Structure formats: C-alpha cells, structure tokens
Amino acid sequence: MSDVHVSFGARAALKGLNLSLGQGEIFALLGRNGSGKTTLMRALTGQIRVTSGEVRVFAKDPGREAQPRRLMSLVPQDIALYPRLTVRENLEVMGGMAGLSRHEIPQRVEQAMAVTRVENRQHDLIEHLSGGYKRRANIAAALLTQPKLLLLDEPTVGVDVEARLALHQTLRDLREGGTSILLTTHDLDEARALSDRVGILASGRLAETGPIGEILRRMFGDSREIVVGLSREPTEPMEAILKELGLAPTANPLAWNSWSAEVGSLGRLETALEQHGIDIHEIRLREPGLEQVLTRIEGDQG
C-alpha cells in the first residue's frame, strides 16, 4: 500500500497509509474500533476501491485483477463454517466452492487439517467444537487454496489460553513455510509474542510501525506503569495524599497509577502509603498496554 486514502462520503477512513509486508512475515495491526483496520483489510482484498493511492498485492491490483485475490485468503472474526457439518465435510465443501478439482480436494483437506492440528476432530460437527477448535477449523478452510498471504481478523478472540497458544503455533508454522500473515488484534501481549512487526492505527493513519519492543522503548523509554490497588475507595483526604505521592486516578476508583523508570521507587511508594495509613490491596509494575500506547499517540496527534 502506498499513500492510500479511503473516504466514505465526508468521512475519511484511511489517510495516506503506507504498508509493506515481507514474505514469511507476521504483521499485527493494532488500534481502536473504527481506527481503519477493517477498511484496510477490505482494500487489500479488493472489496473496496481506494479513493487515491496504490494497492499492490504480489505486484497486482486486487481491485482490478483476480490473480492477487487467488493468492490470498481472509479468515473473518466470525466463524464462517456450517455448524451441522463435520470439520472434514466443511473443508470438502469449501474446497469445491474455492474451485478445487475433485482430485485436489482430498489432499488439500488433509494438508490443511495437519497444519492446523484438527485431524483428531475431523469427524466432529462444528457445533460441538470448542471455540479454539472452531477457529483452527476456520483457518484450515482458508488454507485450502494454499495462499501466500493470510489475513486474519482477531483470530484468538474469545478462546482460552491453551487454544490461543495452539493457534499461535499454527501461525508460526505457516510463517516458517513462507506464508505472509497480516492479523488484527486488540491484544498487545499477543502482538509482542507472535508478530515480527506491528502497525498501530490511529484515526486512519499508521502512527507507528516496527518491532513492538522498539516502539515501546521509543515511546516510553525505561518507564513502567506503577499500579496501586486500594482495599477501599479513597476519601477526599486520602485522594489528596495519593496525588501528593504522584499517583493519578484511573477509571477504576480502586486503582491509581504513576510512571517511573526506577524499580526502587516501588518500595519507597509502598512505604509512604503505609505511613499515611492507606490500605493497599496490591502494588505492581506493569508494562505499557495498548490503551497507554493509543493514549500517548492520540495526545501527540492532538
């Protein structure tokens, strides 16, 4: 994508967006709802025409040519499978719908199930599967055409930790095989664990891009968030003391925070709070999360 603008009437959804993705790379897009993630995906798959700029997938325009669309697959957030069919039956049907020949389908189905590790559930109805297995089967359907580019919208939303780790390993295996992967997520920890690079979308612009560790160091340096959990809601005098100690209120009345680059400040703060008779439930250091990143970006843009 090069200097891509997309507008819907008077509303600008993407504003001068530039994005490149290498072979065998996992790139994670992060941003609030409405930041432009879905619009970007639709532009890449040729579902919408850009207002200006250039979209090229494997050197072709997916909005005008079928070839690049045949080289990619989109895995939507919603499960796009038939609940009353088994995993195998779904994949066989999907293979036919994708234009595979009767001779190709059995082998492609076996390969897709092997990569996503759903062979042991191939005869189970989709409606009887856990959320994690449904998502793996959803990805298997997208792999039937052996895409070179895989697009995933929130691939691990609503699944437990074990299923999330299994999905992550599936995506890493695909990357090792040379598949390029673009995924959207609201989970900064997931992006850190899985992606080679991230892009942070804010108001239709790619505000930051690069390895997540580099972005966080650039934005926050060595600072970490100190979170103080109180045992009870503070009175006005207690709030005054908390503010004097450099803490700020959050949306949760029992949680106050500050930022510091000194690990030793945690102990000093805890001692000061105890001396003032403030009951503490917990006090801990926390890495910057997506909300902190977006708030910082939005503040810089404002």
Pairing of strands 26-30, 197-202: parallel
Output the pLDDT for position 6: 95
Collapsing DSSP states into helix, strand and coil, what is residue 260? strand
Angle at 226 between CA 220 and CA 230, to 5 degrees: 155
In angstroms, the CA 233 to CA 230 distance is 7
Output the pLDDT for position 302: 55
Residue ranges of domains in the chain, CATH in brackets: 222-301 (3.30.70.980)
In angstroms, the CA 195 to CA 152 distance is 13
Pairing of strands 197-202, 205-210: antiparallel
By CB atoms closer than 10 A (0-12, 13-18, 19+), residue 165 is middle
In angstroms, the CA 5 to CA 51 distance is 5
pLDDT, one tens digit for every residue, the chain (302 residues): 999 999 999 999 999 999 999 999 999 999 988 889 989 999 999 999 999 999 999 999 999 999 999 999 999 888 999 999 999 999 999 999 999 999 999 999 999 999 999 999 999 999 999 999 999 999 999 999 999 999 999 888 888 888 889 899 999 999 999 999 999 998 888 899 899 999 999 989 999 999 998 999 998 888 888 999 999 999 999 999 999 999 999 989 999 999 887 767 788 899 999 999 999 999 998 888 888 898 888 877 65
